[in-house]
Structure 1
Amino acid sequence: MGAPRIAIWKFASCDGCQLSLLDCEEALLELAGAVRISHFLEASSRVEAGPYDLSLVEGSITTAQDAVRIREIRAASARLVTIGACATAGGIQALRDTRDLDALKRSVYPDPALIEVLERSTPVSDHVAVDAELRGCPVSRRDLLELVAASLAGRRPDLPDVAQCAECKRAGTVCVMVATGTPCLGPVTRAGCGNLCPRIGRGCYGCFGPVEGANCAAMSAQLRDLGMTAGEIMALYRGFNAGAQPFAEEAARHE
């Protein structure tokens, strides 16, 4: 039947999640030997038409052309998986959803009439059916390889589904909120980053988006007890996953 065909696609993003795949190095070479990479412009000039067994999509949908292209990719893909905060939650560019778009264009571009974008920066799932989502800014290399392997094998991927606090506890990392009063979104953020910030004494910035059932109201109450103002709390939620519903709603509550 031939090797499974994989395509990697870019929309509005920084390319960081595609670079995470390239950073897999030796594991990527093994993957490339087991599949046929039919479309991956970050790494190869090879461009083959579909259908594809698996499409990995990075980036948010920000233009009318994007909306058309993602539907074409979905139609050509047996499985479609979104990777990273941009594709799963609108990305850092979703911050513009909280402002007047015309005013923003006027403040940045000398001829704003030439800028044709959608009113909002939206996740891929707002436009087409998605088979799985891999969160993070950028995604974890380990989780990316696990998701690709599981998708091709037709099984459920083994991905973190707990809060960042669980990852800290497993690693023996001292809680920065308890020990030093450092604001941290760990209790409401999905694990998966490898405990990057808390292990060096910094609070979690929510790179992997809200964990299922995130109690953002209780989180904000704790942040207020640490001395944060409403504006500071709002800004903390409006980061890489500003468009994720629990974070977006809690930020709006403090605006």
Structure 2
Amino acid sequence: MAEPPVRRRPRLGVFKFASCDGCQLTLLDCEDELLPLAAEIEIAHFVEASSDVQPGPYDLSLVEGSVSTPEHLERIRRIRAESRRLVTIGACATAGGVQALRNFADVAEFRATVYAKPDYIETLATSTPISAHVPVDFELRGCPIDRGQLIEVITAFLADRRPDIPDHSVCFACKRRGTTCLPVAHGIPCLGPVTHAGCGALCPAYGRGCYGCFGPSGSANMPAMIPLLRSDGMSDEDVLRFLHTFNVAKFAAIEPEREDP
């Protein structure tokens, strides 16, 4: 009697570009969740976890980090060509990260200030999200990403369905937790109304205003948000600094134009 054919397990690749590795560490921290999943997939490329690196193609590729060097441009195109599905994870991969502050300054000046031998450093003038260069099947927000959302994304794509990741704001999560609204009750500046949910409203739960680590939500109303921040005592410079952090490129794209003094 012939033996049944061996079922081919979907192949997973995890790749890093310009980033702090925090989102990859989130995946490694999913120990209990990964145990049953590991039997269903083949982790073919994940340098953070194993030196056993296998070539493509990959059924699902997770990409952390922004495109910040000429080498990144060539590499991300190669990974896209080898990937059936490509998902970007974290603020660096989805928005360019905090390093996208270079997009609003002179990168040559930064390079000369930081490095003793800037001639040896190859870098682009901008830090850009992966989607600016290749088609992306899904963007998972966060700095770092949420482990529950990450597992949902992996299982969804391996099952050929769309991930169930809502696009509401942090305010919705605050209501679910029963957290008192910090701007209303205490006059504390908070980006919750314009920030994509996913963190579980962690900062507001401990009395700190949201600072937008998951980037703007799809319904972000920045023209209404800026006056609220000013009413909570923030100057124009304070507002600018508040928005220019992990998702500076995303928030800058929807900021209302400031009037000249």
TM over 0.5: yes
Measure, in 1, the Cα distance between the counterparts of 2:61 and 2:256: 33
Query: Residue type matched to 1:37 in 2?
Result: I
Residue of structure 1 aligned with 2:111, choices 99, 105, 114: 105
Q: Which moved more, 1:81-90 or 1:20-29?
A: 20-29
Deviation at 1:112, TM superposition (A): 1.7
Specify the alignment match of 1:213 in structure 2: 219
Residue of structure 2 aligned with 1:144, choices 150, 165, 182: 150
Measure, in 2, the Cα distance between the counterparts of 1:114 and 1:24: 38
Q: Deviations over 1:33-62 (max 9, x none)?
A: 110000001111111011100000000000
* Structure 1 residue 158 corresponds to structure 2 residue 158: no
Measure, in 1, the Cα distance between the counterparts of 2:12 and 2:258: 42
Specify the alignment match of 1:235 in structure 2: 241
Measure, in 1, the Cα distance between the counterparts of 2:157 and 2:99: 28
Q: Deviations over 1:212-253 (max 9, x none)?
A: 021112111101111110000000100110111x43452874
Specify the alignment match of 2:123 in structure 1: 117
Specify the alignment match of 1:61 in structure 2: 67
Closer, same or farther in 2 for the Cα pair 1:185/1:96, shift >3 Å?
Answer: same
Measure, in 2, the Cα distance between the counterparts of 1:138 and 1:188: 18
Specify the alignment match of 2:4 in structure 1: none
Measure, in 2, the Cα distance between the counterparts of 1:151 and 1:254: 45
* Structure 1 residue 198 corresponds to structure 2 residue 204: yes
Residue of structure 2 aligned with 1:79, choices 80, 85, 110: 85
Measure, in 1, the Cα distance between the counterparts of 2:189 and 2:29: 31
Query: Residue type matched to 2:131 in 1?
Result: S
Secondary structure, aligned partner of 2:248? coil
Measure, in 1, the Cα distance between the counterparts of 2:195 and 2:133: 25
Q: Deviations over 1:109-157 (max 9, x none)?
A: 1122222111100000001000001000000000000000000111111
* Structure 1 residue 250 corresponds to structure 2 residue 255: yes
Secondary structure, aligned partner of 1:191? coil
Which ranges of 4 or more aligned residues in structure 1 deviate by more than 6 Å? none
Measure, in 2, the Cα distance between the counterparts of 1:80 and 1:188: 27
Measure, in 1, the Cα distance between the counterparts of 2:42 and 2:205: 38
Structure 1: runs of 5 or more not aligned: none
Closer, same or farther in 2 for the Cα pair 1:190/1:7, shift >3 Å?
Answer: same
| Identical aligned residues as a percent | 57
When the two structures are superposed, what TM-score results if normalisation uses the length of structure 2? Answer: 0.94
Measure, in 1, the Cα distance between the counterparts of 2:43 and 2:31: 15
Q: Deviations over 1:165-207 (max 9, x none)?
A: 0000011000111111110000000000011100000000101
Query: Residue type matched to 1:215 in 2?
Result: N
Measure, in 2, the Cα distance between the counterparts of 1:186 and 1:164: 5
Q: Which moved more, 1:70-79 or 1:112-121?
A: 112-121
When the two structures are superposed, what TM-score results if normalisation uses the length of structure 1? Answer: 0.97
Specify the alignment match of 1:34 in structure 2: 40
* RMSD value, Cα: 1.4
Specify the alignment match of 2:10 in structure 1: 4
The answer as to whether partners of 1:97 and 1:119 remain within 8 angstroms in 2 is yes
Measure, in 1, the Cα distance between the counterparts of 2:206 and 2:113: 37
Larger-gyration structure (1/2):
2
Q: Which moved more, 1:105-114 or 1:203-212?
A: 105-114
Query: Residue type matched to 1:161 in 2?
Result: D
Query: Residue type matched to 2:99 in 1?
Result: Q
Measure, in 2, the Cα distance between the counterparts of 1:253 and 1:102: 27
Aligned residues: 254
Query: Residue type matched to 1:183 in 2?
Result: P
Structure 2: runs of 5 or more not aligned: 1-6
